[in-house]
Chains A and B, each alone.
Chain A
Amino acid sequence: MTNLIENIGYDLIVNEIPDSARVLDLGCGSGLLLQRLKNEKNVTGYGVEISEQSVSQCLERGVYCYQGDIDEGLSDYKDNSFDYVILNQTLQSTKRPDFVIQEVLRIGLHSIISFPNFAYYVTRLQLLCRGIMPKNRLLPYEWYETPNIHLITVKDFRMFCTQRKYPIKKEIHFSISDSGGAVIRKFNPNISAEYGFFVLNGAGITSSNSVRP
């Protein structure tokens, strides 16, 4: 299960990032994505990860990683100091997702934000028909042990961006096929897609127009 979770959306992200970009991956795990980006796109990559073991694995892969909370020290970075900031399957476990997104847009020219879509029909049916907290391959945890504390839907996130005037550059919502690849869900993604995938344009969001946490 951990492997499946770690690789989610990697192909889409690698596709999206241009050659030689400067990338920050928040919640980078063992550094697999950054290593792929380095090998395939020659990026200059940095990661932030909470677990000591994962940072050790990053070192093994030659990936630069900071051990800490993902929002720790983001305020130190200058405006637009990264081409891409990645929040892959991480946002739903942050304490203040709104501030994290704002900081990510401030320090990045672009950001890629992907998360499990809580409005996916299987999840909806579990809650509606069985009356229990959804538990499936998308949300593989029991209610009492889940790290997911801020569950979101594709629609929620889109509304959030509209309210905050965060420019959405692209939406590539997807599900995972049986072979493990991403299948893009264009039709009614809020029901049909397992994962939300947004590319936001953060160039215009700087310290002068964002609210300090």
Chain B
Amino acid sequence: MKKNSKIDEHSVGIVTPQYFTFAEEPESFEFLCGRKLSPITLAYETYGTLNRKRDNAVLICHALSGNAHAAGYHHEDDPYPGWWDAYIGPGKAFDTDKHYIICSNVIGGCDGSTGPSTINPATGRPYGLSFPMITVRDIVQAQRHLIRHLGINSLQAVAGGSLGGMQALKWAILYPGMVRCVIAIATSASVSAQAIAFNEVGRQAIFKDPSWNNGDYYDRHSPDSGLSLARMIGHITYMSEKLMHEKFGRRLQDSAVSHFDFDQEFLVETYLHHQGFKFVNRFDANSYIYITKAIDYFDLGKDYEGMISAFEHVSADFLVVSFTSDWLYPSTQVKEIVKALRVNGKNVVYTDIDTDKGHDAFLVKNRPLERNIANFLKSHSIKDDELD
């Protein structure tokens, strides 16, 4: 096989996932719900070099379906790079020549971190639904164990979109002394009833799949039809109407004439089925229901008795971004975060980027977003140098 031609001077190249295990017996990790688990493993990847002062680290937080593999390729023949490869690498928005980038799979996930599909050492069987309910706070607290393990006391930035943005906000609130910058993209202090509704329909698709078997399916056929349907529903919410129209319109898959039957005929149908099909090969149905529930429960205003008091003690500087065509995390909701920061007199840049790409606009190439992130990090790095 020939060398991967996509590995150029702006790529982090071949990367290897790493694993960190903590809370080993007799210690344990306590979830917000009160349950305790031992041990906990987090899968993570790092790109770039930690400097001597150990202060150039940037933590990247992934969204619902992401994982620790944010950039680069796992091997020479790997057809796809990490999920945020367009943004991470030498000379890119998160410049690995300057920053040490860390990305870990969330607790409850299914890509190497402890989650429902992990074997419970007490029973020798996967946790399944006996896994504790997870919250964004639990995700962040687990990440903090990893960051301390890496010998980092102060993060240059915590960044993420959607659920990743929620984690970044939570980091700034929980550990104000550890976070110098927050980059929160297409995110919210609490999702809307509409977003919860879509998540619930996705979960019901999984629950209604007979193969789901109350979450106990790891030794038999997995609930693929339920999970793929959940993914299809999700995908609709990640795109704008205009993007769907431009991408598919009413075009047919392989003929100019309608067959008048129930086969997938419209291009948009084929696309959604393809997305659902791809997803079941890489994601666990139980992780999907746990993580979507964590998104639904996230509510900073409720947890801190109001949005203003939630952000009262943060010390980080913020870059907050929304997208004009994002109807899942609309600009009006993103602005609520900015409003709370402004009232508290915090340093915040807010921009509403004009795009047709919908909620997923942060996952694809997006020049204004890339430039804004790069400039924000650049101006804050200068400030740090002055502290010497």
Tell me the A residues contacting B by CB distance below 8 Å.
Answer: 46, 52, 55-56, 58-62, 64-68, 73, 76-78, 81
**B343 engages A52 (CB within 8 Å):** no
**Complex partner residue of B343 from A46, A61, A65, A77, CB under 8 angstroms:** A77
Q: With CB as the reference atom, state the residue of chain A lying closest to B350.
A: A66
Of the residues B317, B342, B372, contact of A76 by C-beta under 8 Å: B342
Task: Find B371's partner among A56, A76, A77 (CB 8 Å cutoff).
Answer: A56
Closest chain A CB from B284 CB (angstroms): 39
Interface of A is mostly: mixed
Contact with A along B347-388 (1 / 0, CB 8 A): 111111110000000000000100110011001101100000
Alpha-carbon gap, A200 to B368, bound state (A): 38
Instruction: Tell me which residues across on chain B come within 8 A of A78, comparing CB atoms.
Output: 343
Tell me how many residues of B have a C-beta within 8 Å of chain A. Answer: 25
* B288, chain A: closest CB distance, angstroms: 34
B338, CB-defined interface residue at 8 Å: yes
Q: Which residues of A contact B338 (CB under 8 A)?
A: 66, 73
Partner of B354, one of A52, A62, A73, A81: A52
Q: How distant is the Cα of A61 from the Cα of B339 in the complex, in angstroms?
A: 22
B residues 48-87 touching A (CB-CB < 8 Å):
none
Complex alpha-carbon distance, A76 and B368, angstroms: 28
Binding site for A on B (CB under 8 A): 317, 319, 335, 338-339, 342-343, 345, 347-354, 368, 371-372, 375-376, 379-380, 382-383
Question: How far in angstroms is the closest Cβ of chain B from A169?
Answer: 24
Complex CA distance for A121 and B372, rounded to whole angstroms: 44
Chain A proximity of B157: nearest CB distance (Å):
14
Instruction: Give the residues in chain A near B350, CB-CB below 8 Å.
Output: 55, 65-68
A-B contact pairs, 10 of them (CB 8 A): A52-B352, A56-B371, A59-B372, A59-B376, A60-B379, A65-B350, A76-B342, A76-B343, A77-B342, A77-B343
Separation of A55 and B159 alpha carbons in the complex (Å): 19
A2 to B382, CA, bound (A): 30
Contact A62 B342, beta carbon cutoff 8 Å: no
Q: Min CB distance, B202 to chain A, in Å?
A: 32
Minimum CB–CB distance from A18 to chain B (whole Å) comes to 19
Cβ-defined partner of A67 (8 Å) among B347, B351, B382: B351
Cα separation A77 to B319 with both chains bound (whole Å): 19
Contact call A56/B345, Cβ cutoff below 8 A: no
How far does the Cβ of A200 sit from chain B's closest Cβ, in whole Å? 22
Structural contact, B349 and A59, CB atoms closer than 8 A? yes
Contact A76 B339 (CB under 8 A): yes
Distance in angstroms from B144 CB to nearest chain A CB is 27
B345 and A52 within 8 A (CB): no
Closest 4 CB pairs of A and B: A62-B379, A59-B375, A55-B351, A67-B351
Contact residue among A46, A56, A62, A64 (Cβ-Cβ distance under 8 Å from B368): A56
B339 lies within 8 A of A55 (CB): no
Would A56 and B343 count as touching, CB distance under 8 A? no
Given contacts A56-B372, A59-B372, A59-B375, contact A64 B349 (CB under 8 A): yes
| Assembled-state Cα–Cα distance A67/B319 (Å) | 12
Which chain A residues lie closer than 8 Å to B372 at the CB level? 56, 59
Complex: A64 Cα to B382 Cα, angstroms: 15
Contact A66 B379 (CB under 8 A): no
- Inter-chain CA distance A60–B350, complex, in Å, is 13
Q: Complex Cα distance A78/B375, Å?
A: 30
Contact of A73 with B342 in the complex, beta carbons under 8 Å: yes
B349 touches A52 (CB 8 A): no
A64 to B349 Cα, complex, angstroms: 5
Complex: A99 Cα to B222 Cα, angstroms: 61
Q: A66: which of B317, B348, B376 is its contact (CB, 8 Å)?
A: B348
**Which A residues are in CB contact (< 8 Å) with B335?**
68, 73
B318 CB → nearest A CB, Å? 9
CB-defined contacts of A73 to chain B, threshold 8 Å: 335, 338-339, 342
- Name which of A65, A76, A77 has the most chain B CB atoms within 10 A of its CB: A76
Residue of B at shortest CB range from A62? B379
Docked Cα-Cα span, A77 to B368, in Å, equals 29
Residues of B with C-beta under 8 A to A81 = 345
Q: How far is the CA of A59 from the CA of B348 in the complex (A)?
A: 10
Residue of B whose beta carbon sits closest to that of A61: B379
Nearest chain B CB to A76 CB, angstrom units? 5
In the docked arrangement, what's the CA distance between A58 and B376, Å? 10
Chain A residue with Cβ nearest B347: A64
CA distance A64 to B350 in the complex (A): 8
Closest residue to B371 on the A side, CB-wise?
A: A56
CB <8 Å contact, B379 and A56: no
